[in-house]
Amino acid sequence: MDALTLHEDPRSGNCYKIRLTAALLGKRVKRVQYDIMKGDTRRPEFLQSVNATGRIPVLQIGDRFLPESNAACWYLAESSALMPTDAFQRADMLRWMFFEQYSHEPNIATLRFWLMFVGESNLSRFQKDQIMAKRAGGEAALAVMDEHLAERDWFVGKGATLADIALYPYTHVCEAGGFRLHDYPAVCRWLKRVSGLPGYVPMD
Amino acid sequence: MDALTLHEDPRSGNCYKIRLTAALLGKRVKRVQYDIMKGDTRRPEFLQSVNATGRIPVLQIGDRFLPESNAACWYLAESSALMPTDAFQRADMLRWMFFEQYSHEPNIATLRFWLMFVGESNLSRFQKDQIMAKRAGGEAALAVMDEHLAERDWFVGKGATLADIALYPYTHVCEAGGFRLHDYPAVCRWLKRVSGLPGYVPMD
């Protein structure tokens, strides 16, 4: 089997997703860390050898490179217990993974990054103007999750899948972006279920 | 086999993706059309029976509903010739599908919607303030595609996959959002390859 290497910034929830998937599956992944705040992933050596877009995470599989966090989770988990065996459920799992990248991460992760790492006083006027819309978009995403989980333990089927792994990282730290988890009681119960999974590792 | 019904607005590239996937695979999909400009997908009957988020497309499979365009394409194409048989290539195909939803569609499709359907003079100040950033983001996505395609015929492997189907719809009409296709010659050659696929259907 090809060696697995995760090119990551440990503060990124997108990077944590991959590490959590690997841990739940008992797969060893070597970690190479970069500081995105210092521009580590914009240097020529990263752009030339890891990812020309300057973005992390990237999962390296032997000498091949796979960007996009949810694609990397898929690669690690294919044919594992984290992947439903039913065709509709597999597609429904991807449905929640696309929801995460389209409706959840751009709002919830971005506000955490802006407020916790950049600092509100350092934001540009353009960024400040977007806070209200991202707050509303993030609250809408959390409400969709809470409604879906009100009568279910997991996003798809009867056990944890990549849908749960993809949505967990930025949800469980969403208060750093100013969201109030206690407004979403079904989400809170689900977060505890995920953190109780055998092999679970916390975010750094 | 369960009957397939696509809940769509035919002007949406996300809806067209699903129709194109079905056409290339020779699958029959019944179409139910909504006018998002008239709020058809915000009415109680749609919210209660099709998708509580009010978004389209939704692929209905028998009595089950699957939102998110790329998840619907996956459902239609699993185990078909549009899906690579190699595990890395399957994940790499998903990488481009997540790239499409995160870095391409929110910029390129949104500018087309704003400029072609809403009209620049009807945009809010908040929307107008975002045009420059979405222009830059869209141009960056097209540049990533052009560089990737400079020495390849298809996004993944040696033939068309869902990566191509996901990226085609909003790319081939990007000029409606003010992008200049002739700046991306490898993308232009690839667009012709996609439209030459057996079974190809145009966007309405």
Q: Which of B30, B51, B77 is the last residue of a domain?
A: B77
Same domain assignment for residues B8 and B92: no
CA distances to A4, A61, A163, B107 from A28, rounded to whole Å, are 7, 12, 21, 37
- Please calculate the CA angle A127-A133-A138 and round it to the nearest 5 degrees: 110
* The pLDDT of residue B151: 95
| All residues at 6 or more sequence positions from B58 whose CB lies less than 8 Å from its CB, including other chains | B6, B7, B50, B51, B65, B66, B67, B72
Q: Which residue of chain B is at minimal alpha-carbon distance from A57?
A: B95
Same domain assignment for residues A27 and A72: yes
Band (B204; pLDDT cuts 50, 70, 90): confident
In a domain, B148, yes or no: yes
The verdict on a CB contact (< 8 Å) between B98 and A101 is yes
Q: Which of A77, A102, A123 is the last residue of a domain?
A: A77
| Residues B193/B154, Cβ–Cβ less than 8 Å | yes
What CATH code is carried by the domain that includes residue A143? Answer: 1.20.1050.10
Q: Which of A33, A52, A77 is the last residue of a domain?
A: A77
Instruction: Report the residue count for chain A.
Output: 204
User: Per-residue pLDDT for B56 more than 90?
Assistant: yes
Longest Cα separation, chain B: 49
In a domain, B136, yes or no: yes
pLDDT per position as a tens digit, A38-65: 999 999 999 999 999 999 999 999 999 9
Same domain assignment for residues A72 and A17: yes
Q: In the 3-class helix/strand/coil scheme, how is B121-185 assigned residue by residue?
A: HHCCHHHHHHHHHHHHHHHHHHHHHHHHHCCCCCCCCCCCCHHHHHHHHHHHCHHHHCCCHHHCH
What are the DSSP calls for A133-182, one per residue?
Answer: HHHHHHHHHHHHHHHHHTT-SSSSTTS--HHHHHHHHHHHTGGGGT--GG
Distance CA B92, CA B33 (A): 33
* The pLDDT of residue B181: 98
The verdict on a CB contact (< 8 Å) between B147 and A98 is no
Same domain assignment for residues A22 and A117: no
Q: How many domains does chain A have?
A: 2
Same domain assignment for residues B106 and B39: no
Residues of chain A contacting residue B72, judged by C-beta atoms under 8 Å apart? 91
- Quote the minimal CA–CA distance from A8 to chain B in Å: 17
The verdict on a CB contact (< 8 Å) between A98 and B101 is yes
Same domain assignment for residues B45 and B105: no
pLDDT per position as a tens digit, A131-179: 999 999 999 999 999 999 999 999 999 999 999 999 999 999 999 999 9
What is the residue range of A187's domain? 87-195
In a domain, A82, yes or no: no
Distance CA B81, CA A165 (A): 29
In a domain, B202, yes or no: no
Same domain assignment for residues A64 and A139: no
Share of chain B above pLDDT 70, in %: 100
Band (B1; pLDDT cuts 50, 70, 90): confident
User: Per-residue pLDDT for A204 more than 90?
Assistant: no
In a domain, B201, yes or no: no
In a domain, B174, yes or no: yes
What CATH code is carried by the domain that includes residue B25? Answer: 3.40.30.10
Residues 109-148, chain A: which have Cβ within 8 Å of B?
126, 129-130, 133, 140, 144, 147
pLDDT per position as a tens digit, A81-93: 999 999 999 999 9
In a domain, A176, yes or no: yes
- Quote the minimal CA–CA distance from A109 to chain B in Å: 13
